[in-house]
Amino acid sequence: MSTVPALVVDNLRKTYGNGVEALKGVSLTVEQGDFFALLGPNGAGKSTLIGILSSLVNSTSGDARIFGVSVNRQRNEAMKLIGLVPQEINFNQFEKPFDICVNEAGFYGIPRKIAAERAEKYLNELRLWDKARDQARMLSGGMKRRLMIARAMMNEPKLLILDEPTAGVDIEIRRSMWQFVSGINAAGTTVILTTHYLEEAEQLCRNIAIIDHGTIVENTSMKRLLAKLDVETFVLDVTHAPEQPPALPGVTVRRIDEHTLEAEMARSHDLNSLFAALSAQGVTVTSMRNKTNRLEELFVRLVENGRLGQERAA
Amino acid sequence: MSGSPNLVALYTIVRREIARILRIWTQTLIPPAITVTLYFVIFGKLIGSRIGPIAGGFSYMQYIVPGLVMMNVITNSYGNISSSFFGAKFQRSVEEMLVSPMPNWVILLGYVLGAVARGLAVGLLALLIALFFTSLHVVHPLITFLSVLLGATIFSLAGFVNAMYAKKFDDVALVPTFVLTPLTYLGGVFYSISMLGEPWQTISRINPIVYMVNAFRYGVLGVSDVHVGASFVVMLVFVASLAAFALFLLKRGIGLRS
């Protein structure tokens, strides 16, 4: 297997005509076969970066290489390797899903016969085949999102970029979309995902970059990033919550209501002492869960730290 | 269709454009047919019958047929490409093409061929309708075809440039209303520019539509206000300049890429 990374972003900068500096020298690498999360708050520069990778936005300086092919110097060759699922619906609403997919393949130079076979395959896999001959504007929001994934698969890209593909999509459809994309990834396609649903990124992605104010503030593996989280808060459902929760060194236990306790502790702290103390008080724990999404906590912290750093520098 | 990727891409755009023309045929084919019929009835039949023979001894009806056909070709080529390409920009479906490996010239040629197809279809319809009102014998078939082809190409390219710059639907309607229609009406569709006094005759020669209408009229009737060679030179210069300008805009991504 070739060792060429799926994507190398090299000191990419973008300043828009109105003076807004959307990217301030972004560099990152995505290895082949990765499921990579690109996260950041609104306006952080994610869509600008994706726009440059898909040639919809012209960079001010720097370059990106897709499987070693330069987006700046060999645009057409680079575009053959990419499939893009954009944030906004961007197909002709008056066309039929089948035609949208077949035409997309045509733009990539794929003969119509092969295109029709692929359209059937991907519309079926994304459970849209029964809508293939309806006008696209008649599809529901979730169907439109799935149609954009089917369309992006028409050139069977080596790198699939998904820009907030599940925005406004219900949980069932979201799960079916992730099942499909995970399958594509398992089959060898490199996937880059931006999303505001951080639990999705935590479950699906192996590596992550967090971008804020046009700068990468973190770029590491999901495991390493989550290991940085030193404090966790658990919600405990109990038979009856004592008025005076147990006092334990390194653990803060709060009574939320008569059946709920909250325990905040260092990640290194064991849970046995907490259970033992609760048992001693005659409290039975019926269930337990993490209070917040771990990635979400880290994300907020990293973005806030980045902003504080910028304010201090200013 | 199989073959080189660029040919497949070109075929895809042209096929999609023609499918669009046929899908909305009540907007693309029927209105021009009705309009041209009204022109033939009112100007050709009712008013024209009171006007004596005009340039070369043709009846007024016969004289205005080439002009009206060309007028339809021009306005429909222009309208097709400007509304289709701006529509793609407005719905952002143009991004389907922009993120593909397709070169810019394929995008431009695909849209132009689609618009020329509509121009030719509407022109043919107008010509067929004209046969209900008068008899015509095409004197120079090749010149007739080439002039209508070049006229449609010029205004397809102009419509494409308009759509590239347009930011809202008003911008697409602006040029046809304030530029295209006056130029067409003053381009010798309904009269011979030799009927004008100076300086209007000379001023009329700045209008590119004069050359298109007259080249086509020469092809159909064998009469023209301007030298047919000059007409073709003017048309070829317009095609080359507009194509180069449209490709430049696509390369720079004006109105398309940030």
Give the residue from A15, A103, A107 with the most B CB atoms within 10 Å of its CB, the best one to mutate: A107
**A154 chain-B contacts, CB cut-off 8 A:** none
- Which tokens go with A33? 């076969």
Cβ distance of B257 and A103 shorter than 8 Å:
no
Q: Which bin fits A214, alpha (ψ -120 to 50), beta or left (φ > 0)?
A: left
- CB within 8 A of A66, min separation 6: which ones? A6, A7, A53, A78, A81, A82, A158, A159
- Residue A215 β-bridge partners: A212
Q: State mean pLDDT over A291-312.
A: 67
Q: What is the pLDDT of residue A310?
A: 63
Q: How far apart are CA B29 and CA A21, in angstroms?
A: 48
**A104 chain-B contacts, CB cut-off 8 A:** 96, 100
Q: Min CA distance, A82 vs chain B (Å)?
A: 8
Nearest chain B alpha carbon to A53: B99
Q: How far apart are CA A221 and CA A205, in angstroms?
A: 9
Q: How far apart are CA B243 and CA B238, in angstroms?
A: 8
Cβ distance of B6 and A109 shorter than 8 Å:
yes
Cβ distance of B98 and A103 shorter than 8 Å:
no
Q: Does residue A7 have a pLDDT over 70?
A: yes
Cβ distance of B100 and A91 shorter than 8 Å:
no
Q: What is the pLDDT of residue B1?
A: 52
Nearest CB neighbour to A76, from listed B15, B93, B103 = B103
Query: Residues B101, B5: contact at Cβ < 8 Å?
Result: yes
What is the domain partition of chain A in residue ranges?
A: 7-221, 231-294
Q: Min CA distance, B80 vs chain A (Å)?
A: 16
Instruction: Answer yes or no: CATH 3.30.70.1560 is held by domain A231-294.
Output: yes
Q: What is the pLDDT of residue A82?
A: 95
ipTM of the complex: 0.85
pLDDT tens digits in sequence order for chain B, 258 residues long: 556 999 999 999 999 999 999 999 999 999 999 998 998 888 878 887 788 777 777 888 888 888 889 899 999 999 999 999 999 999 999 999 999 999 999 999 999 999 999 999 999 999 999 888 888 888 899 999 999 999 999 999 999 999 999 999 889 888 888 888 888 888 888 878 777 777 887 888 888 889 988 898 999 888 888 899 999 999 999 999 999 999 999 998 888 887
Cβ distance of A57 and B88 shorter than 8 Å:
no
**B102 chain-A contacts, CB cut-off 8 A:** 76, 107-109
User: Which is it for strands A260-266 and A251-257: parallel, antiparallel or unpaired?
Assistant: antiparallel
Burial B200-214 (b: 16+ CB within 10 A, else e): eeeebeebbbbbbbb
pTM listed for this prediction? 0.83
Nearest CB neighbour to A90, from listed B6, B15, B93 = B93
**A88 chain-B contacts, CB cut-off 8 A:** 92
Which of the two residues, A3 and A298, has the higher pLDDT score?
Answer: A3
Neighbours of A136 (CB within 10 A): 21
Structure confidence by residue, pLDDT tens digits, A14-56:
999 888 899 999 999 999 999 999 988 888 899 999 999 999 9
Nearest CB neighbour to A57, from listed B19, B96, B258 = B258
Q: How confident is the model at residue A225 (pLDDT cuts 50, 70, 90)?
A: confident
Q: How confident is the model at residue A106 (pLDDT cuts 50, 70, 90)?
A: very high
**A89 chain-B contacts, CB cut-off 8 A:** 92
DSSP 8-state assignment for residue B194: G
Q: How far apart are CA B141 and CA B51, in angstroms?
A: 28
Structure confidence by residue, pLDDT tens digits, A130-183:
999 999 999 988 899 999 999 999 999 999 999 988 877 787 888 888 899 999
Q: How confident is the model at residue A109 (pLDDT cuts 50, 70, 90)?
A: very high
Q: What is the pLDDT of residue B257?
A: 81
Q: Min CA distance, B7 vs chain A (Å)?
A: 7
What is the percentage of chain A residues whose pLDDT exceeds 90?
50
Cis amide bond preceding B199, omega within 30: yes
Q: Min CA distance, A198 vs chain B (Å)?
A: 27
Q: What rounded mean pLDDT belongs to chain A?
A: 87
Q: Min CA distance, A59 vs chain B (Å)?
A: 9
Cβ distance of A103 and B16 shorter than 8 Å:
yes
Instruction: Answer yes or no: CATH 3.20.20.120 is held by domain A7-221.
Output: no
Which of the two residues, A245 and A186, has the higher pLDDT score?
Answer: A186
Q: What is the pLDDT of residue A165?
A: 86
